[in-house]
Amino acid sequence: MSSFPDVRLRRFRRTGSLRGLVRETRLDLQSFVMPLFVAPEPLVDEALPAMSRFTVDGLLREVEGLVRLGVSAVILFGIPEEKDEQATGAWEDDGIVQRALRALRPEFPELVLLTDVCLCEYTSHGHCGVIVDGEVHNDQSLELLARTAVSHAEAGADVVAPSDMMDGRVAAIREALDDRDFESMPILAYSAKYASAFYGPFREAAGSAPAFGDRRGYQMDPANAREALRECELDLEEGADAIMIKPALPYLDVIRAAREAFDVPIGAYNVSGEYAMVKAAARSGWLDERQAALESLTAIKRAGADLVLSYWTKDLASWVGSSPVPGTG
C-alpha cells in the first residue's frame, strides 16, 4: 500500500477540469422533477417563487418556459375550488388537476406528467383520507385514492404518485388502473414518507394543513429507518414500479439503505422546507443559494436517488444550461 508522499489526492483537485474528470456524481436535469401548483386563482409567492400557484392557463405558460429550459418532468398538485369530506375535487372528472392534465397533454407530448395522488388538498379537514369516528379510516380511503389515480390516468398523466401513506393503497391503485386498461401506467409510491416538520411551506401553498390533529397516525415516525425498508418492500410487493423517500436531506441514510436493499428506481423528495431554509438563509446573506442548492441536490443523488423532486428544478435548468427537449413545446 503506497501512501504519502507517493499518493497525493490533491493532484486531481488542482483544476476544475481535473475535478470534472473524476467526479462521481453529476446533476443531470433529466432526473429532476419540478413540482407545480394549479389553482382556480393565481398566487405569486415572492419569497419562495416555486411555491406560487398557477391557473390552468398560467400553468401552460409556465410549463412552456420550463420545457424551453430543458425540464423534462413535472408533478402536479391541485388546489380545488371547494373542499369536502369525500375529497370530491381529487377524483372528479373535471377536477383542477384533471383539467390541467387535459390542457398540458396535447401541448407537451414528451413532457413527463406526474401527479400526486392524495386527498389532503381536497378534504375539508385536510387529512389524507376519509374521517370515520375522528380517525383517518384506512380502507375507506383506498377506494377514493384509486378513483383519483384512475381519473389522472384518464386525463393524460404518465405516472401516478400516491403520497397518502394508507396501507394497501398501491395494490388498490394498481388493481383499479388495470381494470381500466391502464396496465402500462407506472406507480411511483411515496413509500417512506415521514411525518415531517419540513412540509410547512407546501401546506401553506396547497392549503392542506390538517384542521385537527396531525399526520403521525399514518406518516412515518422520523426515528425509524428499518420500518422505511418494510414500507418500500410492501409497496414493491403491491406493485409499485418505483419507490420514494421523503423528505430527502434529513433522510439521506434512508435513501442509501433503500438503494442498497432494492434494485428499483428510487426517488427522493427535496421538500418545501428544505428549499425554504436555504432561501431564507440566502436572503439573510448567510448562504449562497446556488452553491447550497447544488450541494444539497448532489448529496441527494450521491446517497443513491435516481430521480429527485425539487423546487430548484427550474433554477437548476438555468444553472446547468441545457438544450431543449426535442419535439416539445
Residues near ligand PBG, by CB under 6 A: 116, 118, 120, 128, 163, 199, 202-203, 208, 271-272
Judge whether 100 and 56 are in contact, CB under 8 Å: yes
Q: How far is the CB of 3 from ligand PBG (least distance, A)?
A: 45
From the list 193, 279, 301, 314, the catalytic residue is: 193
193 is catalytic: yes
Q: Compare residues 208 and 313 and give the one whose CB is closer to ligand PBG.
A: 208
- What is the rounded distance in angstroms from the CA atom of residue 190 to the CA atom of residue 118? 11
CB of 187 to ligand PBG, least distance (A): 15
* Max Cα distance, the chain (Å): 71
CB of 204 to ligand PBG, least distance (A): 10
Task: Give me the catalytic one of 246, 279, 301, 314.
Answer: 246
Which of residues 202 and 262 has its CB atom nearest to ligand PBG in the complex?
202
**Least distance to ligand PBG from the beta carbon of 179, Å?**
25
**Contacts of the segment 176-184: beta carbons below 8 A, 24+ positions apart:** 176/146, 176/147, 176/149, 176/150, 177/146, 177/149, 177/150, 177/153, 180/150, 180/153, 180/154, 182/150, 182/153
Dist. CA 321–CA 292, nearest whole Å: 18
**Distance from C-alpha of 307 to C-alpha of 320, rounded to nearest angstrom:** 17
Residue nearest to ligand PBG (CB): 202
Please calculate the CA angle 187-189-191 and round it to the nearest 5 degrees: 160
Query: Which residue number, 148 or 163, has a Cβ lying nearer to ligand PBG?
Result: 163
Q: Is 83 a catalytic residue?
A: no
Q: Nearer to ligand PBG by C-beta: 101 or 325?
A: 101
Q: Could you list the active site residues?
A: 193, 246
